[in-house]
Structure 1
């Protein structure tokens, strides 16, 4: 017999092409690099709260990293959390309005006045207090000059001693 023909009963290996097709059908082909980002409900709630509180995108990215250990870029935040960023402020406004209504219904007079005014479009302006009046000026200082000086006044003593000292000092300066 010839060597080309194999008459043994050995099992034949499976074809490579059939194996590749089976693998391709069972597993999806992935692009190289980082796997796509998958936001969770916890992330969505945190982003919505931060957006409602008026936080910037950089702050929200930092909070996600600090609270949940998720590091994403601003672009990823806008791509995956666009609805939460857009509706967060409206959601917070609704929650605040609900809380204000609850306070007004409990009897909080300030909350009641505020809600009534805002619903009716009334402007509430607090009266400005007048500034306190300036302090009164200090009383004037009055000096009286006595025209009659006593016998031993300072003027009398100075005129007598000054001329002698000046002459003496001039004499000392000249001799030096």
Structure 2
């Protein structure tokens, strides 16, 4: 068994630190080492997308990323997307309004994926094909995806409209 190492990183804008063995995955480190249980562990093979977090702004599967790989970097989890006053992120609000969530297991990964897409679009409008392509790595067994796609389009295109004005 290998010795634990100290892992210091920024999580949701705050410096965090804990010990973990070098073989511990980022998802387990977040959940068990830091107590951030919003990131869900699904398939543990990087296929379902439930464990998606942003590492330096890029989506990664935290079930495939070692915690030591995040040392000194910035991680954003679902706990970090709401506003400081507790107001949900517009994507979260739109998912609720469009019936884009049911059991909620995939929701954290879907939200993180859509936040990355919003950043990548940088105020440009999105179409259904773009949203579906972005979500291709997020499996949802409950919604049938249309509510998720509708929610994403409403937020992304509203942002594009605001940017154009």
Structure-1-length-normalised TM-score: 0.24
The structure carrying a bigger strand percent of its residues is 2
Comparing both chains, which one has the higher relative contact order based on Cα–Cα distances under 8 Å and sequence gaps of 6 or more?
2
Q: Determine which structure has more spread, i.e. the larger CA radius of gyration.
A: 1
The structure carrying a bigger helix percent of its residues is 1
